Structure 1
Amino acid sequence: MTSQNNAQRLGARGEDAAADYLRGLGWRVIDRNWRCPEGELDIVAHDGRGFVVCEVKTRRSAAYGHPAEAVTPAKAARLRRLALRWSAGRGVRGDRVRVDVLGLAVRADGFTVAHLREVC
């Protein structure tokens, strides 16, 4: 088993936990792992007022910083462009879509979730 496979499995577990977290808030998950030629959106949800693109970052530890720190200004700009692509394909006005980051850290009984709203 390679570290790449381990990282992919951890990422998939984190995305599942993030989707469960959002559903627990009463949000409706619309899309998961939506792809276009420019990239991928982890989760697109609706919070009852509008659409929210959720970037999920999962880490085993904070040794390399908080998971959300992996979303650089360049990554945030790319997420915004992808959100606009998603919204155009769905007939949703782009200004009605916000981008949040969910930073998940492994703990003994699952994950802790840090939810950063409106990162871009």
Structure 2
Amino acid sequence: MRTKNTVGRYGEDLAARYLSTHGFAVLERNWRCELGEIDIVARDGGTLVVCEVKTRRGLGYGSPLESITYRKLTTLRKLAGRWLQTHEVKPSGIRIDIISVVFDHNTPPTVDHVRGVA
């Protein structure tokens, strides 16, 4: 895996599989509008979950979770609102989750799921 896009896609694929195996229904991936992009939109029971996926090849630059800024969380909140405006979904709640994927060539990837960050 050489390019940033390839690494990101790999992480998003792992995150989507992780969510599916943990009972989430993945509704959409890489949804875009003029405000930005949602990596994964899922449903956890009656709750709509907007997932940001961060992937890194090792921890040389810190944990992927450390790269989530207040500004990014604000954008994700706006994106969640826009997604709801454009879809016929009436969730009982809305949540923003972060999924961190770390891998290198010597160990299996690790997936950390942090629920309800904003």
The structure with the largest helix share of the pair is: 1
State the Cα distance separating 1:21 from its structure 2 match.
0.3
Q: Which residue of 1 aligns with 2:45?
A: 48
Q: Which residue of 2 aligns with 1:105?
A: 102
| Matches of 1:63 and 1:48, distance apart in 2 | 36
Does the alignment pair 1:22 with 2:12?
A: no
Does the alignment pair 1:76 with 2:42?
A: no
Sequence identity (%): 44
Which consecutive residues of structure 1, in runs of 5 or more, have no partner in the other structure?
none
Superposed CA RMSD in Å reads 1.9
Report the secondary structure of 1:14's partner residue. Answer: helix
What amino acid maps onto 1:88 in structure 2?
Answer: Q
State the Cα distance separating 1:50 from its structure 2 match.
1.1
What amino acid maps onto 2:115 in structure 1?
Answer: R
| Matches of 2:117 and 2:82, distance apart in 1 | 18
Structure 1 length-normalised TM: 0.89
State the Cα distance separating 1:109 from its structure 2 match.
5.1
The structure with the largest strand share of the pair is: 2
Q: Which residue of 2 aligns with 1:114?
A: 112
| Matches of 2:88 and 2:96, distance apart in 1 | 17
Does the alignment pair 1:85 with 2:82?
A: yes
What amino acid maps onto 1:116 in structure 2?
Answer: V
What amino acid maps onto 2:13 in structure 1?
Answer: D
Structure 2 length-normalised TM: 0.91
* Residue correspondences, number: 117
State the Cα distance separating 1:70 from its structure 2 match.
0.9
Which consecutive residues of structure 2, in runs of 5 or more, have no partner in the other structure?
none
